[in-house]
Amino acid sequence: MRRIAFLLLLAASTAHAETTRYLVRPTYTSIRFSIVKWGVMKEEGIFRDFTGTLDFDPAHPEQSRIEITVQAPSIDTKNETRDQVVRSDDFLDVARYPTLSFVSRAVSREGSRWFVTGDLTIHGTARRIRVPIAQLGMRALPNIGKLAAFETSFTVNRRDYGVLGTRWGAIPGTLDDTVEIHIIVGGIKPAR
């Protein structure tokens, strides 16, 4: 019985031996969003301050895991007045909810496509979502480390997260409910 337990433990440790932890680096990562305004144009923005980790095993992607925490006040829409409105309690309410986050729960494959299921938290509300993921590549960078890069695009309904815009966006048709999110994640395993 002890031998069986030892072999199971050894197999489990070997299965995870190739998983590498990458640190999400802002230099190689972008978190962007866009929303339709007045039904005729898109307004775009980015978040400039975030941290995260990515555990990835190319031989067993289904064992991968990612966590990203975004500082909500770091929103940048290229217009400081608009940024203040989005930071206010009418939208993100960054004073009460200073972070947004994503924590993966599972990675699955359907044919040639990969999907990550996880909990997206915005405005203090967490919802389970499933998003497609594409691996952009991996490369060793001299004097930097090993880079792993991924990309995803998906949509969320801002009202599902309590981002209502009841004052500024109260006029029907001012802002669409759907927000498009585009993320490129570049993680580095530092060189020793």
Burial class from Cβ neighbours inside 10 Å (0-12, 13-18, 19+) for residue 68 reads buried
Bridge partners (DSSP) listed for residue 187: 24, 148
Q: Which of 129, 17, 128, 116 is nearest to 65 (CA)?
A: 116
pLDDT value of position 169: 57
pLDDT value of position 12: 43
The neighbour count for residue 125, using CB atoms within 10 Å, is 12
pLDDT value of position 167: 77
The tens-digit pLDDT sequence of the chain (192 residues) is 444 433 333 344 444 458 899 999 999 999 999 999 988 999 999 999 999 999 998 889 899 999 999 999 999 999 999 999 999 999 999 999 999 999 999 999 888 889 999 999 999 999 999 999 999 999 998 988 999 999 999 999 999 999 998 876 556 778 899 999 999 999 999 877
Q: Where are the alpha helices (DSSP H) in the chain?
A: 2-15, 80-87
